[in-house]
Structure 1
């Protein structure tokens, strides 16, 4: 097994056996990788302080797996836990929902989806501070759907498409539009994610 080291956003954490965890994480090139963290639930030294939580931006050192096996996590360092998300239930819920959207479309072996990593990282940062999480939700959805090639840009989407996620608060003037269109866009997202994972 060769050694690997990279930065990741943790997408999912699954308890496996008495003390192990399985983690799904997104790399900077947009590839989803799976790891086993042996003894993670007991080892405070290697994986202490709640490092291995979904939404966390981390650095992993690991043994790279053979085909069809899990990478073995050796060490994890927390780079950003986006503390603002945990000050507010709505923000945390939105962050976990955005993680779930990305988790469903990201794939093992896909090394050409940097935009997914960048979209998610920027969305998590913005979710800490956005004045209106619903406007951010719409902003994220539109960028996500357009990047996935699921929708054609309609004229009303232009402000959301043109602004960076970091500029979400500049879109607060479109709040009425969000109220009008969010249900339709959520239906598109649901439909797409159901079929994306088949």
Structure 2
């Protein structure tokens, strides 16, 4: 196994056996990688302080899997950003976990050309911390996500959302009526796409 070190956003974590964790994480290239953190539930030295939580932006040092189907073996994890603002508001945290699920379903192992997916995820988590209207941010994320995935063509009414950076999502609150009118339909499109993305 070769040594690897990179930054990741953690998408999912699952308990495995007595003390191990399996983690899915997104690299800056948009590639989804799977890791096993042996003894993570016991080792406070290597993985202490709740570093291995979904949504956390982390640096992983790991032994890279050499064969297909093998897991990368996580050796050390350090926190870069825990997006602490998400954990002070239930709606923000719920939205963040939903965003992680959306990205997890479309990201793929071996895909080295989806930097936009990593950037979209990181910018959305950051924006959620300071969002003044989570439904506006949800619409903002959905439209950028669907456009990047090639699911929708840009329509005139989408322009304010598609032209605005996620960092400036709060400036879109004056389009709240549009969100009220269109969010349900856009949500259905995302749901339908994700259901078929894995087939």
Structure 1 length-normalised TM: 0.99
Q: Which residue of 2 aligns with 1:127?
A: 128
CA offset digits 1:92-132 (Å, max 9, x no partner): 00000001000000000000000000000000000000110
Which runs of structure 2 are paired with 1:1-198 in the superposition (5 Å)? 1-66=1-66, 67-198=68-199
Separation (CA, whole Å) in 1 of partners of 2:161 and 2:198:
26
Post-superposition offset of 1:41: 0.3
Give the gaps of 5 or more residues in structure 2.
none
Separation (CA, whole Å) in 1 of partners of 2:131 and 2:165:
13
CA offset digits 1:38-97 (Å, max 9, x no partner): 000000000000000000000000000022200000000000000000000000000000
Count of aligned residue pairs for this structure pair = 198
Q: SS of 2:18's equivalent?
A: coil
Moved over 6 A (4+): none
Post-superposition offset of 1:197: 1.3
Structure 2 length-normalised TM: 0.99
Q: SS of 1:14's equivalent?
A: strand
Q: SS of 2:125's equivalent?
A: helix
Q: SS of 1:54's equivalent?
A: coil
CA offset digits 1:136-191 (Å, max 9, x no partner): 00000000000000001111000000000001011111000000000000000000
Separation (CA, whole Å) in 2 of partners of 1:161 and 1:65:
38
Separation (CA, whole Å) in 2 of partners of 1:42 and 1:70:
20
Instruction: Give the RMSD, CA atoms, in angstroms.
Output: 0.4
